[in-house]
Structure 1
Amino acid sequence: MVQQIPTNAAPAIHYPESDGQPMADNTKQFRWIVVIKENLELLFADDPNVFVAGDLLWYPVEGDNKTRQAPDAMVVFGRPKMDRGSYRQWDEDNIAPQVVFEVLSPGNRLRNMTQKLKFYERYGVEEYYVYEPDDVELIGWLRSGDRLELIDETNGWVSPRLGVKFQMTSDNLEIFTPSGEKFLTFVELAQLKEQEKQRAEQEKQRADEAERQLEVERQRYQALEALLRERGIEL
């Protein structure tokens, strides 16, 4: 009979991939989350080592499945693009997301936002932006040493990491890429693509018509040249 020796191995820690909270409370908040996340994805589409995610749980401490946040959008420089159930920092070369965004809704509370600020400050976020679409207000913090310091003026601010520019209007926030292209909704992007397609078709039609006219003139010239030769006139 073989005697079983008891072990003291600790059970494996489970890191949930959902916190049970909805990504957004209303359509406006959801639209802004998608606009920010997808346009950032597009901005860094050609860089295989920039990971962009939305509403993904970030666990900064191995062995601790209670300390976590799910930013509305986050950008991680130095990590590959790939699907993840959560962002477990110890599996990611211990690289923390450098830039995070939160989009507020009427359901957000000041206490909750304060807790998030402390979390992002403690675990290494370099830039933290909070947008309130109802009041059209953008607040930002930039890391200085071990603290996130409030950015005095976000209107016209250019993100050091992302290179994007934030511009406030009377009724909206506009975000521009380093090349000056505005962040657009999926519908606006589709409409722009259709406009470009129609413009390209019109340009092709004009080019084809110009080519046809040129061919007509060429044929006329050849006919005239042949007629003159028949009459003994050399050009």
Structure 2
Amino acid sequence: MTPVTASPTAPPAPPIAVEYPDSDGQPMAENTLQFEWITLIKENLDWLFAADPQVFVAGDLLWYPVEGNPKIRQAPDALVVFGRPKGYRGSYRQWQEDHLPPQVVFEILSPGNRPGEMSRKLLFYQQYGVEEYYLYDPDSNRLEGWIRQEGILDWIETVQDWVSPRLGIRFDPSADPLVIYRPDGEPFVSYGERSRQAEQERQRAEQESQRAEQERQRADRLAAKLRELGLDPEAL
């Protein structure tokens, strides 16, 4: 009898690499007003936590909470992660970030946003661990907020003078447009406004320096005149 030869076992197929795109193909903003609010919040959060190397702030960055499933993703208009270092990221892949989700997210409404879309975002943020969620409509000046309590994102009944537990910032939606205050009481301002304030401070400092120099020169002239008269200015 001819012996039966077992066919060689085929080597296992290499695992298929999962791609996590850095872009979802959607624009960051639909209009200039939405863009201004996104950048205002993101830039001011950057300034607020500039001295803390373990607070990561980003705007319009794709967040992938589940390894192996790139279809589960969201790109908040602004997000803050406490406990993760600053630095470049093409996307926020949670399993590579000590499994920490963004604790705070912001969304700025645009005319193209639909109620169903925003409801899905709320459910996403609730499911994947967001602690604070703020939604602002600049067209109607309407601010809404949710805070995690007992495992769910609970709607904040009164956002007037609400202070974010994580960020320490305070909201004043009674102002039109919305004003957001830093913990030191200073309002959020745009980069342009901050640059203008810095220039004003520079000019004031320069004027004070010029006045001080003029006073010094005046004192030197007076001392020289006294010496011409035979007087010791130090003795007067």
TM-score normalised by structure 2 residue count: 0.92
Q: Secondary structure at the match of 1:225?
A: coil
Match of 1:24 in 2: 29
Match of 1:10 in 2: 15
Structure 1 residue ranges, 4+ long, deviating more than 6 angstroms after superposition: none
Q: Secondary structure at the match of 2:45?
A: helix
Shift of 1:112: 0.6
Within 2, Cα distance between the matches of 1:174 and 1:9? Answer: 54
- Aligned pairs for 1:18-167 within 5 A: 18-167=23-172
Q: Secondary structure at the match of 1:113?
A: helix
Which stretch shows the higher mean deviation, 26-35 or 167-176? 167-176
Q: Secondary structure at the match of 2:133?
A: strand
Shift of 1:170: 4.3
Within 1, Cα distance between the matches of 2:56 and 2:104? Answer: 11
Query: How many aligned residue pairs are there?
Result: 227
Which stretch shows the higher mean deviation, 218-227 or 49-58? 218-227
Give % identity: 56
Match of 1:204 in 2: 209
- Aligned pairs for 1:171-190 within 5 A: 171-190=176-195
Shift of 1:222: 2.1
Which stretch shows the higher mean deviation, 175-184 or 83-92? 175-184
- State the AA in 2 paired with 1:202: Q
- State the AA in 2 paired with 1:192: Q
- State the AA in 2 paired with 1:119: F
Within 2, Cα distance between the matches of 1:62 and 1:31? Answer: 33
Superposed CA RMSD = 1.7
Match of 1:213 in 2: 218
Within 1, Cα distance between the matches of 2:184 and 2:229? Answer: 54
Consecutive unaligned residues of structure 2, counting only runs of 5 or more, are 1-7
Deviations along 1:94-116, one digit per CA (max 9) or x if unpaired, are 00100000000111110011000
- State the AA in 2 paired with 1:209: Q
Within 2, Cα distance between the matches of 1:18 and 1:213? Answer: 64
Shift of 1:4: 8.0
Within 1, Cα distance between the matches of 2:192 and 2:9? Answer: 64
Match of 2:4 in 1: none
Consecutive unaligned residues of structure 1, counting only runs of 5 or more, are 228-233
Deviations along 1:147-191, one digit per CA (max 9) or x if unpaired, are 001111111111100001111244211111111111111111111
Q: Secondary structure at the match of 1:14?
A: coil
